[in-house]
Structures are given as structure tokens and as C-alpha cells.
Amino acid sequence: MKKETLTLAAVGDIHCKKDSQGTIQPIFAGLKDTADVLLLCGDLCDLGLPEEASILVREITSVVKIPILAVLGNHDVESGAQAEVTKILTGSGITVLDGDAIELFGVGFAGVKGFCGGFGRRMLEPWGEEIIKRYVREAVDESLKLESALARLRTPQRVALLHYSPIEATVEGEPKEIYPFLGSSRLEDPLNRYDVAVAFHGHVHRGALEGRTRAGVPVYNVAMPLLRRSFPDQPPLRFITIPTEPDSSRASALPPKPFTNAESTKSAVA
């Protein structure tokens, strides 16, 4: 069923632990009445353990009855059990995107974990030692996966879901020494090339809430620790409403509305 607008609820960095039972469910209670799709931006588990993933899905799916899309984060692969973690998530009805694309309500969604490497002119280049070349290759491969997923979508509007940041603006506030480990500008190019309506990422716990790509694509940092500090009186979720058909201009980022944390954004015509 296609809608005129679609409200997205997004959060990353839940970091579910073995003792998190009972602490996550209240965050998502009542979501059915406020959002159409829930987006989970990686680091869903703390150590990437199957036990953590099982607790997470019980907590979320017991109260969330809308479609849920997710990408994995670096913590989700920490224990090398990401295949089992993914199986637990998908077995509960959560769609995990890893270079994949899906259409919901007439809007296209593409997602990858992403990788690091830095931003702009300071971005790490594949030169010198072989290990550096492999490091950069990982960032390039994640960017290509995102581009391929976006290219498969034929919807008027596209939404991108990542863990690592695609722009420097949303990592500002973190120590500059760790910028290269928080994201990569290589993830930005596909967003601009396919005129993405909005992009979400996590991973950056002390960065900025939002920024824009060089082409003006709105990018939201939805790391839960950042949302908790920014909206202490609300559940740590970011609500963004987009039209399902492109408008002639992108809306400016709006200040949070009291108690709803809801915003809207529009995409330019390609």
C-alpha cells in the first residue's frame, strides 16, 4: 500500500547485552501509532553474541508491529558470529540489509554496514603496504555495495541505512584523532549519485545530530547515546517524515518538536 508520506523511526547503537532484558522494550512501546517503518542502524548487540541477538529480538518484536529494517555494526561482528546474529534477526521478521534493497509503501530502502577511512582530502588512500590497501578496499567494497543496492531501486524516493557515517559533519564533536575510524566519504558518493531522500547512520556516539552531503542529502546520526543526551525527555528514537513522491526542493532540517522528536524532509527531483 502506497502512502503520501512515510514516517521513519530510526536508532542505532542499542548495544543489547546479556542483562538487557526488560530495558529495551519500553523504548519501542507505542511505536505503531507514530511510525510506519523502524530502522535499526547497527551495533544492535554489544559483543555480537547470539544470546544478545535473541534478547534484542524478543524485546523489540514483542511491541513493534511495523516493518523493521536493520544493518549490522562493528559490534555486531565483534565475535565472528554475525551469520548467526543475522539469522536470529531475520528469523524474527527483521530484514537485515547488507548491500540489499527493499521497497516498502512505495519507497525504496538500501543498506550496508559501511566502513571507515576518513573524510575528504584526509581520506586514506590505497598506497604503500598491502594491509593499507586491504583496509581501503573494504571501504570501497562497502561503497560499491551501497551503490549497487540503490541502483536496483526503481522507486521515486530512496532511503539509505548505514552504520558508519558517510559525511564528516555528523562526526563533529568527537575527538578529531578518531574521525578516520567513524566513517568514510566513499559512502557519500552513492547517496549523491542516486539523489537519496534521506540517510541514517549510527556509530558516532558524541557527534552531531545531522548534516548534509555535498549535494544536499540530509544525513541523520541516530546513535542512541547521542539521542539520549539530545532528547533527554523523550524515547531515544529519531522520527523523520518524507513524501513518497519527490518534491521540487529539500526541506531544511527542522528543530525537534516537543515530545514527538518528529521532523520532515523532502527530496529534490533527479
Whether residue 104 is predicted with pLDDT greater than 60 in this model: the reply is yes
pLDDT in tens, 186-202: 999 999 999 999 999 99
**Residue 260's pLDDT band (cuts 50, 70, 90):** very low
Helix (H) or strand (E) holding 61: helix 50-61
Cell of 156: 521515486
What is the per-residue pLDDT for 264?
A: 52
Mean pLDDT of 138-152: 96
pLDDT in tens, 154-170: 999 999 999 999 999 99
What is the per-residue pLDDT for 1?
A: 59
Q: Which SS3 state, helix, strand or coil, does residue 238 take?
A: strand
Give the dihedral of Cα atoms 23, 163, 160, 135; nearest 10 deg.
-160
> Half-sphere exposure (CA, 13 Å, Cβ side) for 259?
0
What is the per-residue pLDDT for 126?
A: 86
Whether residue 183 is predicted with pLDDT greater than 90 in this model: the reply is yes
Whether residue 217 is predicted with pLDDT greater than 50 in this model: the reply is yes
pTM assigned to the model: 0.90
**Residue 124's pLDDT band (cuts 50, 70, 90):** confident
Say if residue 189 is exposed, middle or buried (CB neighbours under 10 Å; 0-12, 13-18, 19+). Answer: middle
What integer best gives the mean pLDDT of the chain?
90
Please tell us whether the domain made up of 5-264 is placed in CATH 3.30.70.1350: no
**Residue 252's pLDDT band (cuts 50, 70, 90):** very low
C-alpha 11, offset from chain centre: 7
**Residue 173's pLDDT band (cuts 50, 70, 90):** very high
What is the per-residue pLDDT for 256?
A: 34
Domains of the chain, by residue range, sit at 5-264
What is the per-residue pLDDT for 166?
A: 98
Whether residue 174 is predicted with pLDDT greater than 50 in this model: the reply is yes
Q: How far apart are CA 199 and CA 145, in angstroms?
A: 15
**Residue 255's pLDDT band (cuts 50, 70, 90):** very low
Q: How far apart are CA 114 and CA 196, in angstroms?
A: 16
Residue 143 CB neighbours (<10 A): 23
Query: Is-contact 19 49, C-beta < 8 A?
Result: no
Q: Nearest to residue 54, comparing CAs of 44, 64, 63? A: 44
Residue predicted with more confidence, 265 or 172? 172
Say if residue 256 is exposed, middle or buried (CB neighbours under 10 Å; 0-12, 13-18, 19+). Answer: middle
Whether residue 63 is predicted with pLDDT greater than 60 in this model: the reply is yes
Query: Is-contact 74 46, C-beta < 8 A?
Result: no
Whether residue 265 is predicted with pLDDT greater than 90 in this model: the reply is no
